[in-house]
Amino acid sequence: MSKTVSILGATGSVGQSTLDLIRQHPEQYEILALTANGNAAQLAALAKEFSAQVAVVADEGAYAELKRQLAGTSIEAACGPDALVAAAALGAEWTMAAIVGCAGLPPTLEALRCGKTVALANKEALVSAGALMMAEASNAGATLLPVDSEHNAIFQGLQGGRIDQVRKITLTASGGPFRTWTREQMANVTAEQAVAHPNWDMGAKISVDSATMMNKGLELIEAHYLFPVGLENIEILVHPQSVIHSMVEYRDRSTLAQLGSPDMRIPIANALAWPDRMTTNCEPLDLAEIGQLDFERPDENRFPATRIAREAIIAGGAKPAMLNAANEVAVAAFLNNMVQFLDITEIVTRLLDSYSPSEPSALADIFAIDKESRVRAEQLVEELKV
């Protein structure tokens, strides 16, 4: 029996990696829905290749092109936010949630409400609405599988153990391309330099997050929701080789580390085949070739993002959602050469200090906080504009 699959964010790096794995085992998977932001031509090509039932573009301006590309096929074309939610509601047995940013939150929640399995690659959704997402998953009896390499490593480290037996979780971080740089050197970083990650092939936004180490701050918030061991029992360790993806230490002092080549297809394959394992053509890990593994503690003076994220968790309420919104605006401004690299965390810090909205209790509250935070962050961008 083949497994029905929907991929929310099919044209991004995670979506493409997922489809590459499905290409290797086409008889085992049936595609229900594929979505993209606005790349209608690529989405249509993928929908035809995998015989998808539905193809959805979030950008309504790309709908005419999608319709044209799919003319003469039986594939249904749709557009807009409501269509994204409808695609998630088709009830695929396995859904990849890989839409970047808060735009991915409504369809991800809808997929969870179907009570099936959701593989989560959209860290911003969990950061902004972690309590709401975990409650929806619990109420629907859905299975939420983490796809980030770090959280998937923790997930694997917990298999055979219990969360109440855990003493400590360690998230590993590559340190990004500027791991050894001073603050003075980072002041003049270009967007091109920031997206050139030394280990991983990722999209521009997440590559910049890695360079600021905000990605690790976001992952810290994610881990806080996914693995309830207490914030004080989750630490970050810089590991430049990106071979050990995270570690779980149990109360008997046994530490389980998940290792693998820096290829996102490996954690995706774990989630796609779970609870089984699938054969992939990923590069095997050659420890003799790597030679050594290095570790160091993060320097929060040079990279304050992890400290900012930890403080946002402790403050609670709307702060994680505010952090996420401000970071998205600041990273976009940096990629558009509007602000400098170090301004990214400065904008986030200033926003978090500027106001304190009421604690969100529903999705509408989260979107209101997100909208207000973006407006305020845009104002900060104007103040710091180069």
User: In whole angstroms, what is the distance from residue 13 CA to residue 207 CA?
Assistant: 12
189/160: higher pLDDT: 189
* Tens-digit pLDDT profile for residues 249-262: 999 999 999 999 98
Kindly state whether residues 300 and 383 are assigned to the same domain: no
Kindly state whether residues 178 and 44 are assigned to the same domain: no
CATH assignment at residue 72: 3.40.50.720
Kindly state whether residues 167 and 308 are assigned to the same domain: yes
Looking at the predicted structure, is the pLDDT value of residue 171 above 70?
Answer: yes
R_g over Cα of the chain:
20
DSSP-derived 3-state class of residue 172: strand
* Tens-digit pLDDT profile for residues 96-114: 999 987 889 999 999 999 9
Domain range for 203: 157-261+295-314
Looking at the predicted structure, is the pLDDT value of residue 198 above 70?
Answer: no
Kindly state whether residues 225 and 303 are assigned to the same domain: yes
Domain annotation covers residue 53 = yes
User: In whole angstroms, what is the distance from residue 110 CA to residue 86 CA?
Assistant: 8
Model-level pTM?
A: 0.91
Kindly state whether residues 189 and 327 are assigned to the same domain: no
Of 146, 173, 201, the residue that ends a domain is 146
Query: In this structure, are residues 95 and 74 in contact, taking their beta carbons and an 8 Å threshold?
Result: no
Domain annotation covers residue 287 = no
Domain annotation covers residue 359 = yes
**How many domains would you assign to the chain?**
3
Distance of CA 77 to the CA centre of its chain: 26
Domain annotation covers residue 273 = no
Domain annotation covers residue 280 = no
Kindly state whether residues 11 and 141 are assigned to the same domain: yes
Dihedral Cα 264, 32, 73, 40, nearest 10 deg: -40
Instruction: Please give the pLDDT value at position 202.
Output: 66
Of 119, 146, 173, the residue that ends a domain is 146
Please provide residue 147's backbone torsions phi and psi, each rounded to the nearest 5 degrees: -110, -25
* Tens-digit pLDDT profile for residues 112-145: 999 999 999 988 889 999 989 999 999 999 999 9
Question: Which pLDDT band holds residue 199 (cuts at 50, 70, 90)?
Answer: low
Instruction: Please give the pLDDT value at position 109.
Output: 94
Instruction: Please give the pLDDT value at position 1.
Output: 77
Query: What residues have CB less than 8 Å from 276, skipping those under 6 apart?
Result: none
User: In whole angstroms, what is the distance from residue 149 CA to residue 208 CA?
Assistant: 17
The DSSP annotation for 12-48 comes to SHHHHHHHHHHHHSGGGEEEEEEEESS-HHHHHHHHH
User: In whole angstroms, what is the distance from residue 379 CA to residue 375 CA?
Assistant: 6
Of 146, 175, 191, the residue that ends a domain is 146
